[in-house]
Structure 1
Amino acid sequence: MKRTAEKVLSVISLVFTVLSVIGSFIFVAIMKTFTEGTLRTEIEMELYADPELTVEDVDMILSVLEYFEGFSWFIVVVLVISLIATIIGMIFMWNEKNPKLAGIMFIVAGLFAFILSPTSIMLYIAAILCFTRKPPLAAEDQSFIDNQYDDSMRPL
């Protein structure tokens, strides 16, 4: 059975997930440079030099930057789990081994790819298609049907 729609949706979502993983690694690198080294000290000096900010405000801003560094690693891990689940689902769907398991893996990958992102929506659609499409039935033998009409003029 051809599963072209599922294949296309899963490949597109795989590409989006890979791009998201790359983007989140870049975000981690940027946050790492903000929280360590000379850039952090320059940011601290600029914030402390601002007369409108208090020491508590500066400490809060710096703690938020540190929080985002840890949170960005969480995003990377979640997206890698989504990537792995998408690949496993694609393998099961491509080999026609178990499309139901592929649908389950697509739903898991969609949940880990953040619930309402375009990637997860495509994975949900591919999962629904994996669940609802049935393999075609074997061709039934039509010899037992007595066709007394030649199909040119059929009665109502």
Structure 2
Amino acid sequence: MKRTGEKALSIISVVLNAISVGILILMLIGSKMIVNDPLLNTEIENSLAGSGFTEQEIVESVDFMGDFLIFISTIGWLFVVLGVISIVLAIVGAVKVNANPKVAGILFIIACVLSGIISLPGILLIIAGIMCFVRKPKIMTPIEARDENGYIIE
């Protein structure tokens, strides 16, 4: 049975996941550059100095901002790893969909959970996974020649 729909949905989700992982990597690299930029830190210190904060509060605020960006960056890299695993599972599922649709459906659903169920690639993968489980192959009955009594003619 052809499973063109499942293959198309999985390929579209792989492309969308790859785009989102690429954008996330660029954002994480940009945030690392922001944390290491001394000009930005001095600009933030200067803007906080005019607002009535003490020197200690200003230093703590700048340190907190740097620590917060590092924390967000760490979580972002976790999402990058999950996205790459999701891409690999979706590709393997797309390759296996004709040979074993049940395994491909399980791979699509796992990839959906890893990429995010509410994201567009996740929705496409869950649809492909459900289609793998629901669609049944057509039963091909051979056409047999029969005579007027119902016996098979060979």
Q: Same fold (TM over 0.5)?
A: yes
Give 1:62-101 correspondences, 5 Å limit: 62-93=66-97, 96-101=98-103
Of all paired residues, the percent bearing the same amino acid is 34
- Offset at residue 115 of structure 1 (A): 2.0
8 Å Cα contact 1:31-1:68 kept in structure 2? no
Q: Distance in 1 between matches of 2:75 and 2:92?
A: 26
Give 1:109-120 correspondences, 5 Å limit: 109-120=111-122
- Offset at residue 141 of structure 1 (A): 5.1
Deviations 1:3-43 (A, max 9, x none): 1211111111011011112112211211221122xx2x112
Measured on the aligned residues, the alpha-carbon RMSD in Å equals: 1.9
Moved more, 124-133 or 42-51: 42-51
Q: 1:43 is paired with a residue of what secondary structure?
A: helix
Q: Which residue of 2 aligns with 1:150?
A: none
Q: Distance in 2 between matches of 1:25 and 1:74?
A: 11
Q: Which residue of 2 aligns with 1:28?
A: 28
Q: 2:44 is paired with a residue of what secondary structure?
A: helix
Q: Find out whether 1:8 has 2:8 as its counterpart.
A: yes
Specify every segment of 5 or more residues in structure 1 that has no aligned partner in the other structure, as ranges. Answer: 147-156
Q: Distance in 2 between matches of 1:111 and 1:121?
A: 10
8 Å Cα contact 2:11-2:91 kept in structure 1? no
Q: Distance in 2 between matches of 1:72 and 1:42?
A: 24
Q: Which residue of 2 aligns with 1:123?
A: 125
Deviations 1:22-72 (A, max 9, x none): 112211211221122xx2x11211111123353233222221111122122
- Offset at residue 137 of structure 1 (A): 0.8
Deviations 1:49-96 (A, max 9, x none): 123353233222221111122122111111001011101101101xx2
Give the TM-score normalised by structure 2: 0.83
Q: Which of 35, 60, 75 pairs up with 2:64? A: 60
Q: Distance in 1 between matches of 2:89 and 2:70?
A: 30
8 Å Cα contact 1:82-1:108 kept in structure 2? yes
